[in-house]
């Protein structure tokens, strides 16, 4: 049996993470791998409740510091209740977003809070994925795709295009800083083209 892997998908809003994490989980299952497909914020009942607090309402609802605490709390619950038990049971975990999202969204967009994000991560989470796909794409197109869904969870999309541009650069910097774990994927293609590139890692 191969070692269970913890694999994450990251990128700006509307970049195709949910679509690709689903297709990748399908590819893994097709080759007989036991997979838990999950997402953040959320992925456990408690973390899904926190999701509602952070994704709905006024863009100014939380300070950047409070937001870091809420995302870290939801991740801790997700790790305790879903990710760690699955890995211990020998399953592969595929998560749509994880700690890199906090590094970029909370760490690099409203002042430089990256140090605080990193300290809290070390204290409360202390685990990195084995493999991370960072889907890169044009923020204007991604924003259109994301808002077209009208999910009602658009608090971050509501910050607008310049915010998404900053996020894109944050994710690119992260991919370059951690090349042994991160794979940069060009998201400006059809879903099938992207999925077949990613399936090579199944
Ligand atoms: P994310 O999880 O990154 O927000 P989604 O996978 O939910 O992205 O995709 C956002 C929207 O764009 C969805 O309506 C989805 O069907 C569509 N979509 C996803 N990937 C592509 C693609 N490669 N080309 C065109 N549309 C896409
Ligand atoms: P998601 O449901 O993946 O949104 P989308 O499909 O639009 O990409 O994530 C919800 C939002 O939460 C997204 O705008 C990014 C934000 N987020 C953070 O700001 N910090 C985090 O740590 C996480 C996990 C998500």
Q: Tell me if 136 sits within 8 A of 168, measured CB to CB.
A: yes
Burial class (CB in 10 A: 0-12, 13-18, 19+), 148: exposed
Confirm or reject: Cβ of 186 under 6 Å from ligand 1: no
Task: Tell which one of 41, 57, 61 to mutate to probe ligand 2, the residue whose CB is within 8 A of the most ligand atoms.
Answer: 41
pLDDT tens-digit profile of 129-176?
A: 999 999 999 999 998 887 777 677 777 777 788 999 999 999 999 999
Report percent pLDDT > 90 for the chain: 83
Beta strands in the chain (DSSP E): 6-11, 35-39, 92-96, 131-136, 182-186
Can you read off the two tokens belonging to residue 153? 């969870």
Mean local confidence (pLDDT), 173-188: 97
Nearest residue to 35 (alpha-carbon basis) of 45, 47, 26? 26
* Residue of the CA atom closest to atom 20 of ligand 2: 102
Mean local confidence (pLDDT), 180-194: 97
DSSP designation for 92: E
At residue 1, the pLDDT reads 56
Task: Tell which one of 15, 53, 97 to mutate to probe ligand 2, the residue whose CB is within 8 A of the most ligand atoms.
Answer: 97
pLDDT band at 60 (very low <50, low <70, confident <90, very high): confident
* Residue of the CA atom closest to atom 19 of ligand 1: 16
At residue 48, the pLDDT reads 98
């Amino acid at each position: 049996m191969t070692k269970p892997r913890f694999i994450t998908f990251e990128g700006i809003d509307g970049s195709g993470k949910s679509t690709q994490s689903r297709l990748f989980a399908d590819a893994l299952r097709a080759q007989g791998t036991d997979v838990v497909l999950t997402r953040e914020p959320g992925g456990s009942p408690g973390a899904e409740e926190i999701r509602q607090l952070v994704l709905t309402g006024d863009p100014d609802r939380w300070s950047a510091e409070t937001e870091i605490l809420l995302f870290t709390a939801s991740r801790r619950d997700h790790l305790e209740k879903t990710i760690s038990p699955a890995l211990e049971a020998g399953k592969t975990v595929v998560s749509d977003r994880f700690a890199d999202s906090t590094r970029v969204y909370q760490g690099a967009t409203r002042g430089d809070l990256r140090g605080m994000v990193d300290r809290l991560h070390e204290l409360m989470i202390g685990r990195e994925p084995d493999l991370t796909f960072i889907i890169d794409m044009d923020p204007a197109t991604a924003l259109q795709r994301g808002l077209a869904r009208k999910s009602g969870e658009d608090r971050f999309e509501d910050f607008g295009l310049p915010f998404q541009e900053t996020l894109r650069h944050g994710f690119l910097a992260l991919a370059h800083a951690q090349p042994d774990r991160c794979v940069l994927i060009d998201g400006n293609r059809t879903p099938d083209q992207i999925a077949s590139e990613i399936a090579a890692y199944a």
